[in-house]
């Protein structure tokens, strides 16, 4: 028996003892540019990984090429039970399992939606996570540099500009890609 087959035996035993209902999806923060190796190592270790990928056109010095890159830089997803969290944390390239004081599971619907879009081969690109009510800054267009509170009315995004002294406000309609959250 080789060392490799011994590892495989351990992996099979771990999967057999973790019922599907005990396993949840978690976000795993990886070291820089380690998303794909982490995915491969988790899979080899018997953990179910998911890494949403995005095709992007990159300019090289002599030509433009299409490359496949992780949709969320620095993150990979995996489904496992909390009893396997040490195995995940010891995987080379893993920085931590995302959560405040303990690993926080991700809703199944969110992962299913990402998997569905990924399998449909639709174009995806990362964007800022904009939350209604949060303060944003306009990053392009004639209003660049303007800060306000983001709200949403029907299909349009709006930026509320306040004049607090007179307790009045104005709503400016704006495209979501024209603003970025203020950190």
Residues 99, 148: contact at Cβ < 8 Å? Answer: no
Structural domain total, the chain: 2
Do residues 18 and 81 both lie within one domain?
Answer: yes
Q: Quick one: 65 and 22 in the same domain?
A: yes
Domain with residue 65: its CATH number is 3.30.70.940
Reported as a single tens digit per residue, the pLDDT across 123-139 is 777 776 777 888 888 89
125 in a structural domain: no
pTM across the whole model: 0.69
Half-sphere exposure of 177 (CA within 13 A, CB side): 3
> Can you list the residues of the chain whose pLDDT is less than 70?
1-18, 128, 153-156, 161-170
Q: What is the DSSP string of 78-141?
A: EEE-GGGHHHHHTSTTEEEE--SSSPPEEPHHHHHHHHHHHHTT----------TTSEEEE-SS
Within this chain, do residues 112 and 60 fall inside the same structural domain, yes or no? yes
Domain region containing 34:
3-119
């Amino acid at each position: 028996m080789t060392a490799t087959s011994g590892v495989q035996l351990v992996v099979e035993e771990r999967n057999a003892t973790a019922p599907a209902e005990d396993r949840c999806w978690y976000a795993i923060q990886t070291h820089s540019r380690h998303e794909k190796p982490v995915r491969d190592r988790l899979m080899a270790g018997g953990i179910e990984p998911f890494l949403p990928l995005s095709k992007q056109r990159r300019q090289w010095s002599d030509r433009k090429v299409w490359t496949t890159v992780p949709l969320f830089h620095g993150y990979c997803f995996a489904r496992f039970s909390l009893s396997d969290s040490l195995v995940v944390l010891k995987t080379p390239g893993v920085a931590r399992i995302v959560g405040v004081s303990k690993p926080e599971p991700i809703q199944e619907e969110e992962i299913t939606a990402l998997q569905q879009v990924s399998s449909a081969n639709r174009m995806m690109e990362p964007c800022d996570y904009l939350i209604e009510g949060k303060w944003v800054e306009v990053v392009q267009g004639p209003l660049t540099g303007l800060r306000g509170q983001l709200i949403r009315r029907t299909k349009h995004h709006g930026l509320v500009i306040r004049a607090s002294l007179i307790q009045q406000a104005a709503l400016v309609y704006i495209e979501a890609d024209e603003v970025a959250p203020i950190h």
